[in-house]
Every structure is written in C-alpha cells, then in structure tokens.
Amino acid sequence: MKPYQFCLSCNKELEGRSDKKFCDAYCKSAFHYNKSRDDTGSFYLKVDRQLKLNRKILKKFNKAGKATVISQVLLSQGFNPNFFSHYWKNSSGDVYLFVYEYGFLSRLENGKEKYILVTWQPYMEKSLLL
C-alpha cells in the first residue's frame, strides 16, 4: 500500500516510486515555499517582513527626499509605524522614526494625522554620536 497516493501540493495522482510525495520538482518547491510562508512561529521573520514592507512604502512615497502624506494612505498599504530600525531627534525636539534610510514623523495638521517623510542625511549621524 502506498503511503502517498496523491501529490501533497496539487493533489494529482502519483505514478512511479511507492514513497513519492510530489509529482514534480515544481510541486515540491511550491509546497515547501507555502509551508514556510505560512509558518507563524518565527518572530524574527515577522519583524523582518514588516520592516521591509515599511521601507518599501516609505520609499514609494518619498521620491524627493521630503514629503508629507496623510497617514491613512500609508496605513492602508500595510505600513505599521510600530516597526522601525532607529530614531533621530532634531534640534526642535521632534523624534523621527527611521526604517533604515527612510524616516517619518507623525503630525496633526488641520485635524488630520499626517506623516512627514524624510531621507537620512549625513548631518544626522553627527547628532547620534553626542
């Protein structure tokens, strides 16, 4: 009796060896990719995935080095302001949160929550050392 009668990925009937689990290399790869993607056990992977998504979104909306965007626009695309890599405090006391080289500052302007987006500048590093 065969332990696996159908492909674990596409459910196609298997032919050949009795211990075969997948019909081809594509199905084997797709099965393991989906399994690892659905694995919710790794906190590191969740954080890394969110940081990458945040960076991608900030980069998309900050083409010129500085921009202002309504917060809901970023949030609707999956941006999560609780995930950032470091911060920088300017001379006015405003704290910009950064996702690698792209930073954001939350502001309330005219009753609407907005994010001021900036790009990391060399002068910012000097203030980190103080």
- pLDDT, tens digit, for every residue of 68-87? 999 999 999 999 999 999 99
Please give the distance of CA 128 from its chain centroid, rounded to a whole number.
Answer: 26
Question: What is the Cα–Cα distance from 107 to 114, expressed in whole angstroms?
Answer: 5
The pTM is what? Answer: 0.68
Of 2-11, 41-50, 95-104, which one has max mean pLDDT? 95-104
**Cα dist. 52→18, 60, 95 in Å?**
43, 12, 21
User: Which pLDDT value is given to residue 71?
Assistant: 96
What is the mean predicted confidence (pLDDT) over 106-121? 95
User: Which pLDDT value is given to residue 130?
Assistant: 46
